[in-house]
Structure 1
């Protein structure tokens, strides 16, 4: 997909990876709707702030009505609570699933007819290495990202005949607020991840793997997990 003159909607664009994606899209000549629950916090030059709460159906539908010229949707908004599936707060588990799975599902459903009506385009879902690796301490987040990976594959098949390519971005630790406690030498710069993501959209990659840790985890998917000691 050609990004120059594309019309992109980037969710969670007020900070972190979303902010870098929005800024780099502007640099490449795209029109950008920078979407967030609080659009007044968006201070990027050259973008159009857009109110969009991915957990609010009415907000999603209104955003799709406003951004009626969209040709690219980047589902970047997400939440990490650290909840475990068995011992964690069930409300937090639901919040992660609502944001990380039902959120991109809602936005994709709303924007698919918009993108199709504008001649086709693309959807990018920002996922995680935890789509494929599921440690118990962040079981809720991992489950939501695994579900979003399945969502990506299924919607790719559904939307291809409508001229819409669907891709997934998988990455480990990034230098964002979400990974603030992680040592710097274990994190990838968010700007670098954004550049890889946009290159993947331009070249039509179905999956974009942004760092070495994630590549290693993907390669190990065929290895059977070891049984837990009981």
Structure 2
């Protein structure tokens, strides 16, 4: 995939990794980026009035906004599903409404966007979808139960839609990382990567046709542990995170 030839749409583009995706796409010469967020006014001034940036409202929990966005952006060839939340709700004792909100956002919301935009991509030659996932798709840590479960579901949904969309020549890429230095991880005291690394490595991966991009050493370590006994892995995680 030649990134400069693409017309992209990025969800959750008003901050964090989503904003870095928009900036990286502009740097690589795309002709247009639909920058979406729940409140389009939150995009004001972020992209220095670059005429290639088209603000668009899209709320993962509002199906009609997803339908409207897909109707407005009929020329999209690259869909980047980045928007997400972190509630911190425990699975067993937390507010079940918040647990469901995690799943509704990361799994059902992302799937809704894919379902509405896959015909758009097909009409434009196939294109690609990028799902921004997490190392927490593969393990859980204290305080991450709801997020980890939702990201695990999104990770395997990514695998499923990849198979289903192969016939229309849509490449589906999963991007996995640990903590990035964004507002979402402001309460985490451990090592954090530069959020600019995420779009850089993801788009390099698209240019090479990569189905999966592992951004950092932490995530590579987690993936390598999956074939082994989980007991020593969770002992190691407990030590690394300083959990009791």
Aligned partner of 1:59 in structure 2 is 65
SS at match of 2:221: helix
- C-alpha separation between the residues in 2 aligned to 1:201 and 1:96? 28
Aligned partner of 2:239 in structure 1 is none
- C-alpha separation between the residues in 1 aligned to 2:152 and 2:93? 20
- Cα distance, 1:72 vs. partner? 0.7
Give yes or no for contact 1:85–1:136 (8 Å, CA) kept in 2: no
SS at match of 1:190: coil
TM norm structure 2: 0.90
- Cα distance, 1:48 vs. partner? 0.6
Task: Find the partner of 1:178 among 165, 176, 184.
Answer: 184
> What does 1:124-143 align with in structure 2 at a 5 Å threshold?
124-143=130-149
- Cα distance, 1:180 vs. partner? 1.1
Task: Find the partner of 2:226 among 218, 221, 227.
Answer: 221
SS at match of 1:59: helix
CA-atom RMSD in angstroms = 1.4
> What does 1:16-27 align with in structure 2 at a 5 Å threshold?
16-27=16-27
- C-alpha separation between the residues in 1 aligned to 2:140 and 2:186? 20
| Unmatched 5+ stretches in structure 1 | none
Task: Find the partner of 2:107 among 78, 92, 101.
Answer: 101
Aligned partner of 1:166 in structure 2 is 172
1:180-210 C-alpha deviation (Å, 9 max, x unpaired): 1233x70000011221111112211111100
SS at match of 2:226: coil
TM norm structure 1: 0.95
